[in-house]
Structure 1
Amino acid sequence: MSPDATPDPYEDPVRFGQRVQIFRTRRGMTREQLAGLLGHHASWVKKIEGGQMRMPRLPEILRIAEVLRVRTLNDLVGADTTPDIELFVGPGHPKLPAVTAAINLFPFDTDRAAPSPAHLQARLATAWTARHNAANHREVLGTLLPDLIRDAQLAVRQSESAAERRSAHAVLSEVYSLSQFFVAYQPDAALLWRVAERGMVAAQESEDPHAIGVAAWLTAQAHRDSGPGHFDAADEITISTLRYLAPLLPDAPAEVRAIAGALQFEAGYTAARRAESGTAWGWWDKATRTAASLPAGYYHPVTSFGAAIMGAHAVTVAVELRAGGESVRQATRAEADVIPSRPRRARHRIEQARAYYLDGQHETALSTLELAHAAAPETIRYNGYARRIVLEEVESRMPERRRRASDLGVKIGMLAA
């Protein structure tokens, strides 16, 4: 390894503090940024990284792992110290290899005629409906996606006119968007980025405002989830896409106005991750006004945007701002049953659980995670925030909380039965 290269935490059993510094650097964070997200002073991070302080207790370690998006607990504390527990990258789904193969292989020589864009769009609509209605939504998507990806790629290749090619690209872009929901939080970051970038390219080729908005929404999320060093890129994609959509909105159909609202909330989400409270709530207000302008009961099939989701979004903003009391207030107000999508309803339950946990209401947090599991087991199985709460509660001093957390840990595959 070059002496100038970043040390690899897998090569040597380096101290905990050195591991923190390695992952902080890889995330593009300063000590001040990490300290702010942890509720400490930069000098505390400096002492941790310099080995001048002992390794923190488990709750603090898990919070560091959450902020740094460390894949497994062993990566942070050492391979011989704890069980090899996945945190913010879930287990690889059994159908991931088949989806990966379809994404990686392009159809060049084939005697088979491609389905029409209209036929593919109908299959896409069926796939989105199945995704929202299924508790095991990754299983459903993993079954549908390989053929859908190959057929959409083939439709682009066999297009005979510019208009037909643009239409096929719009469908292909949405297929990649659907694929990103399957690939997210699985152990293949390179595949996630490949899907996001291909979706954005296909959307631009389509010249379709809705396809462009959806692809931008997902790409901004990929940047934001990569850490503070990528927040500027997330903002640039979000704001530039909103500028592009702005002159189209007065006469735009509901789906285009909805994707603009979803992007407005994404800007607020990133601001909350930066701990910029006023900016975060300002964008949430804009998104709420956009949601109110949509037809009654409207629910965007990709982003889940609509009036029903704004309460859930308010919980997320408050939690990301680390505002315990406000998080609980929003969690209490926000209704889960009004969210039609089972995976999105489960995600909302997890955000509610984070709010209760932040406020010290650990039993309520566990109860809420159990509701999330009932709504969509595959959502909680792949969610790092839920896994962190479960792992911490397994170490609780309260026997009943330990039992409930252990039972949930077994159900979501974190712990052996």
Structure 2
Amino acid sequence: MCVPEDSIGKRIATYRRRRGMSQAALAGLVGRSESWLSQVERGVRSVDRMSVLLDLSRLLHVDVQALTGTPWQLAPNGGQRAEGIEHVRTALNQYTSLLGGGYAIPELAELRRSASEAHSNYQAARYSSVVREVPTLIANADAALQNAGPDDREAALSYVETYVVASKLLTKLGVGDLGAVTADRAAMAAGRANSASAQGMAVYQVVTALLRSDQVDQAEQLAMRMTAQLGPAVRSDDPALVSVTGALWLIAAVIAARRTEQWEAERRLTEASALADLLGHDANYAWTAFGPTNVAIHRVSVAAELGNPGAALDAAAAVDLDALPAGLLSRRAQVNLDLAWAQAQRRRDAEATLNLLAAEKAAPEAVAQNVVAREIMRTMLARAKRGNGNALQALAARSGVLD
């Protein structure tokens, strides 16, 4: 096995030369030193902020995907493409509400139960299982809404829940066009559901889809407008609405961190923390995984987004993963992924590898689909001494980083 030649650093070097730019010129434009860029291009270190990677792509006149080699999004993913995506695409292109046909009208209780099961599998990072479930879910949700009356709230809620989980999955797997389509359909149906929490769920997915296509301004504006709209209605006796509003504050905090606006990111985390206190415990209302522990996890992610490995390590010390509800394996894995990034930035590769292995143990598919995790592996493999890093090499092979 050998370290792959298609690292982010090598791609940056290739596109920089095509643009006729020196290392000193490009590094200066992103506020870094020439030696920093030289190390990135040689694979000695990784790009330590997602915002810097976005800046590099704009300066080099390429999409972020051209630098990463894989699809990119806010919680960047895009490794091994799950089988069955084309079946999802086919289901989405049936347009049974306009053309008729499709499945028999399902029992709404059974449809919502199936959608809930898909959400659970998604949160457990069983993405391949959800891919198999989604085409039937979509067909049933379409049939239910097509045959529902204008005031049939249950059919609309079933439709929103189905299309939200489909959008989560597709965005996670880097299928940006379908992620945007499913998020938009959920948002369009949310009004019929007569539910503020359903509207918030749908808008959260639209925000995620916008971020997937690097439309950061529009994503931020939509998230902030929705928090402003939902905020006055938040009450302790409506935990779903508290959770959805809190989740929107959390994604808004990550957006601020992507812009390197540390103070604003902290302010938004404080808003989310207040809602977590109002909720009073860790929960999973509206499939948000929202609660005090998820806020603590996002403090780690925000520090990583800001490129501050020391702050990420400090924030992780306050996270009690045992407080998370059962089944939220992807949330558990995210802490280890952020810690792996922080340790790799400090060149503590043994500790970084242990965190990657812990993330894989919790949620193997989450690691295999994560661009940052894959780039961490490439960076550490490139600087590993001969004979060292056998555990890392094995993990990289399982994740598709090595052939």
Which bracket does the TM-score occupy, shorter chain normalised? 0.7 to 0.9
The reply on whether 1:379 has 2:366 as its aligned counterpart is yes
1:366 aligns with 2:357: no
Rounded to whole Å, the distance in 1 between the matches of 2:394 and 2:102 is 52
What amino acid sits opposite 2:16 in the alignment? G
1:122 aligns with 2:113: yes
Contact 1:322–1:358 at 8 Å: present in 2 too?
Answer: no
Residues 171 and 212, structure 2, Cα contact 8 Å, conserved in 1: no
Whether the 8 Å CA contact 1:318–1:327 is kept in 2: the answer is yes
Q: Distance in 2 between matches of 1:275 and 1:196?
A: 27
**After the TM superposition, which residues 17-416 of structure 1 pair with which residues of structure 2 at under 5 Å, given as runs?**
17=16, 35-36=30-31, 40=32, 56-59=41-44, 67-68=53-54, 75-76=66-67, 88-107=77-96, 108-110=99-101, 113-133=104-124, 137-159=126-148, 161-164=149-152, 166-186=153-173, 188-227=175-214, 230-250=215-235, 253-339=238-324, 340=326, 341-399=328-386, 401-416=388-403
Q: CA 1:345/1:89 → structure 2, altered by over 3 Å: closer, same or farther?
A: same
* TM-score between the two structures when normalised by the length of structure 1: 0.79
Alpha-carbon offset, residue 267 of structure 1: 1.3
Supply the distance in 1 between the matched residues of 2:350 and 2:116 (Cα, whole angstroms): 39
Distance change (3 Å), C-alpha of 1:55 and 1:364: closer
Over the residues paired in the alignment, what is the CA RMSD in angstroms?
A: 3.4
CA change 1:123–1:329 in 2 (3 A) is: same
Contact 1:86–1:414, Cα closer than 8 Å, also in 2: no
Report the secondary structure of 2:322's partner residue.
Answer: coil
How many angstroms does 1:18 deviate by?
5.7
Corresponding letter in the other structure for 2:150: A
For residues 269-310 of structure 1, what are the alpha-carbon distances to aligned partners after superposition, in whole Å with 9 as ceiling and x for unaligned? 111111111110111111111111114342335221112212
For this pair of structures, how many residues does the alignment match? 374
Higher mean C-alpha deviation, range 324-333 or range 373-382: 324-333
Q: Contact 1:62 / 1:388 at 8 angstroms: preserved in 2?
A: no
C-alpha distance in structure 1 between counterparts of 2:67 and 2:282, whole Å: 45
Q: Gapped runs of 5+ residues in structure 1?
A: 1-13, 23-30, 78-83
Conserved? CA contact 1:72–1:86, under 8 Å = no
Query: Is the CA contact (8 Å cut-off) linking 1:346 and 1:372 kept in structure 2?
Result: yes
Report if the CA contact (8 A) 1:20-1:76 is conserved.
Answer: no
1:407–1:310 Cα change, 3 Å: same
Q: How far has the Cα of 1:366 moved from its partner?
A: 1.0
1:378, CA displacement in angstroms? 0.5
Structure 1 residues 85 and 405: alpha-carbon distance in aligned structure 2, compared to 1, 3 A threshold: farther
Q: Structure 1: how far apart are the matches of 2:233 and 2:381? A: 51
Change (3 A) 1:217 1:21: farther
Q: Is the 8 A contact 1:169 1:202 kept in 2?
A: yes
**1:210 aligned counterpart, secondary structure:** helix
Residues 363, 401 of structure 1: 8 Å contact kept:
no
Deviations 1:107-145 (A, max 9, x none): 343385412333321222222233334x5x112211221
Q: Give the whole-Å Cα distance in 1 for the aligned partners of 2:94 and 2:213.
A: 26
Q: SS state of the match for residue 413, structure 1?
A: coil
SS in 1 for 2:288: coil
* Worse overlay, 381-390 or 288-297: 288-297
Report the secondary structure of 1:293's partner residue.
Answer: helix
Counterparts of 1:267 and 1:74, CA distance in 2: 23
Q: Is the partner of 1:215 in helix, strand or coil?
A: helix
Deviating more after overlay: 115-124 vs 307-316 = 115-124
Rounded to whole Å, the distance in 1 between the matches of 2:163 and 2:45 is 37
Contact map agreement 2:46 2:379 (CA 8 A) in 1: no
Cα distance change on mapping 1:17 and 1:387 into 2, 3 Å: same
CA distance in 2, matches of 1:149, 1:388: 34
C-alpha deviation, 1:400, in angstroms: 5.7
Cα offset, 1:321, TM superposition = 1.2
Task: Report the Cα offset of residue 61 of structure 1.
Answer: 6.8
Question: Cα–Cα, structure 1 residues 213 and 60, in superposed 2: closer, same or farther, change >3 Å?
Answer: same
Q: Deviation at 1:196?
A: 1.9
Closer, same or farther in 2 for the Cα pair 1:19/1:182, shift >3 Å? Answer: farther
User: Cα deviation per residue 1:59-82 (whole Å; 9 max; x = unaligned)?
Assistant: 4575699824989999449xxxxx
Q: Which sits farther off after the overlay, 267-276 or 329-338?
A: 329-338
Is the 2:282–2:323 contact (alpha carbons within 8 Å) kept by the matching residues of 1? no
What residue ranges of structure 2 are gaps of 5+ in the alignment? 1-12
